[in-house]
A and B are shown apart, each in its own frame.
Chain A
Amino acid sequence: MNIAVVLKQVPDLVEGLEIDASGKSVDPCSVRYILSESDDHALEQALIIKEQVGGRVEVYSLDTGEAKEAMVTALAKGADHAVMVDAGLESTPDNHTAARVFASVFRDKHFNLILTGVRAIDDLDGSLGGLIAGFLDLPYVGLIRKVQVEAGATTTIVEKEYPGGCAAELAVTPPAVLGIQAAERPPRYVPITRLRQMMKTATVEELLVPPPSLQPIGIVRLFKPEEGAGAVMLTGSLEAISQQVTGLIAEKHLLR
């Protein structure tokens, strides 16, 4: 099984983020980047498949100045090769642009599966995996929580999540793109000692590609939601509060 995993760096929301002076994008100075959570799961799933049926896992990322550590971490976890795709981009482009770049990179390679996280917090124009599949005319299934590959089988069995705890079991004929929601087990840990060592010794391939034509999304403005006054706080004894809450419930005609 030859698997490609596409990794994307996204803003880390822990410290919040600010909108820049233009009002049309996030201020890059206000932001630090981390690997998109579901991409981490996609990598884990790819490594699990490799452990089960053998093969090769390659990780790809767009070079916007942030991704090296994620690439080296992937190598430390067991990926065979890491490729930083340099398309002359200074910041993360929209997913259409990114997907066009990856589609051109993958077109002549023969991956059985291309895995990526089903969505990232900065997605505005559709999921990267779906778009890559669309551009390459490959099948795509998203929101996957399980992937079953058997040596010699012609199809890959996946479980796609639906609401209400349901899931659909589907048989996908590779080559295909899969949008991973969660790997079968949580992403593995890399001891920092190993990561620090590998940051000095690991090689990441730099792949130069022609800069894509940008057709930016027509963002009029970005804005933060108004912070409301918050909840009306109820006070008093437990009994008094219970009476107040029960009164509120009765007003909504929810008492039987």
Chain B
Amino acid sequence: MSTLQSPAIPEMPAVLFPEIASAEGKFRTCIQCGVCSASCPMSDAMDFPPRKAVRMLLEGRFDEVVKSNTPWLCVSCHTCTSRCPSKLLISDGLFPALRAAVMEAGQSLDQDLQTALQKTYLYGNPMGEGPNKRTDWAKTSGVPVPVLSQVRRPVDVLWIVECYPSFDPRGQAISRLLARILNLLRVDFAILGREERCVGDCEWLAGERGLFEMLVERNIETFGKYHFKEVLLTDPHAYRSLRNVYPSMGGRYVVKHYTEFLTERLDQLKPLFRKKLNATVTYHDSCCLGRKMGQYDDARTLLKAIPGVKLVEMIPNRESALCCGGGGSTIYLDHYIQERVKDRLADRRVRQAAATGAGVLAVACPFEPSRFEDGVKMTGCEGRLVVRDIIEMMAESMELI
């Protein structure tokens, strides 16, 4: 490792200025109540927990904050933002700006994160897979998965598969099952195939606003070539971006997470559930779908509709659910975080799941299966607890596996 010293940052990084230093800066309304630090699952490990970081920034001590570990330990769980009495955008405003400030000041980045951002820039996905491989997962799905550029006609549903569900083996398995479900429901859908690029959310949370904007522009241009009525997603981060951010940049669509989409079709689904699962299930509310987008019920409706499923709730749940640690950009910072935090968030959440007595931990976000499965191994719950996406459970009951 280099022994080069980084010089002191001489003045407030421009990207932080509006949030903090300007007279209109909302952060001047922070009352220093500490709810953010108290709610933050990572505050113990941070050099400066959220409340203190805000205080220091208001005092002009940005050099210390920008160089600390604080910007990189935030997992974007949005608990702070959801509870702040001054309604400040902390995890989804200040922290991305802090990260952008780190980059703007030329500070070195964690290599895993830098690589993921560079690969996203070059290939439209953080794994660095060639765009041609976007359809590899569909080859063994056993049902047709139409690609828009090939079918060349309007479709009802544009299914944006997103990066993890396209390239990660665990995610690919779930994508294949969803394809089978959509097929059985006779949904008229298509995917983008090699034209698909990351929808973008993690990049912006990581502080890379420029990369995020580039992706948005590119995607709006691609979507504009086709006619579709709705967009279907399994990725809550992409869902949030498409719902909340794209419209302001010219991309306005009807966007649904699969839990909402399939709940709308519950009457069609119910007769297709043939197999009784006989499982006690607990559902993990992902931060993005839950706290950020306010959606808690559809997932539970789907689970309760599966024969033989008994639903139990973890403590905490819904608005208070504990993050899996996959976060916005922290999915690329696992190594960084593991060096600083002994008790992984995913392990803590798995223990909470195991405490309910459930045999299945159900999830609805593609980041979660691998993280929680690692957690099951690390906490010694192997054999007692399995992790399943709701899609997998429905597919099992529909005998599509």
Contacts and interface: CB of A to CB of B under 8 A. Distances in A.
Q: Per the CB under 8 Å rule, do A and B touch in the complex? A: yes
Contacts of A83: none
A191 B210 contact: yes
Nearest to A13: B130
A194 interface: yes
Interface in A166-203: 184-186, 188-189, 191-196
A17 B207 CA distance: 34
Contact of B100 (A16, A34, A191): A191
B131 A189 contact: no
Contacts of A191: 100, 103-104, 207-208, 210-211
A192 B211 contact: yes
Nearest to B203: A192
A15 interface: yes
Interface in B95-130: 100, 103-104, 106, 108-109, 111, 114, 117-118, 121-123, 128-130
Interface in B69-112: 100, 103-104, 106, 108-109, 111
Interface in B205-226: 207-211, 213-214
B2 interface: yes
A196 B208 CA distance: 12
A192 B121 contact: yes
B103 A189 contact: yes
Given A12-B122, A14-B128, A185-B2, A196 B117 contact: no
B1 interface: yes
Nearest to B111: A186
A185 B114 contact: no
Contacts of B213: 193
A136 interface: no
B4 interface: yes
B209 A48 contact: no
Most B Cβ at <10 Å: residue of A14, A184, A185: A14
A150 interface: no
B132 interface: yes
A15 B131 contact: yes
B130 A14 contact: yes
State the majority secondary structure of interface residues on B: helix
Contacts of A206: none
Nearest to B115: A186
Given A191-B210, A192-B214, A185 B1 contact: yes
A48 B3 CA distance: 12
Contacts of A194: 104, 210
Contacts of B211: 191-192
Contacts of A192: 121, 208, 210-211, 214
A122 interface: no
Nearest to A48: B4
A192 B109 CA distance: 14
A33 to B, nearest CB: 11
Contacts of B122: 12, 14, 34
B210 A186 contact: no
Nearest to A193: B210
A191 B118 CA distance: 10
Nearest to B131: A15
B67 to A, nearest CB: 16
Nearest to A78: B106
A185 B106 CA distance: 13
B117 A189 contact: yes
A51 interface: yes
A51 B5 CA distance: 11
Contacts of A51: 4
A196 B211 CA distance: 9
A185 B210 contact: no
Contacts of A34: 122
A111 B117 CA distance: 34
B4 A16 contact: no
B130 A195 contact: no
Interface of B: 1-2, 4, 100, 103-104, 106, 108-109, 111, 114, 117-118, 121-123, 128-132, 207-211, 213-214
Given A185-B2, A192-B214, 10 more contacts: A184-B2, A184-B4, A185-B108, A188-B108, A191-B100, A191-B211, A192-B211, A193-B100, A193-B213, A194-B210
6 contacts: A15-B131, A188-B106, A191-B207, A192-B214, A194-B210, A196-B214
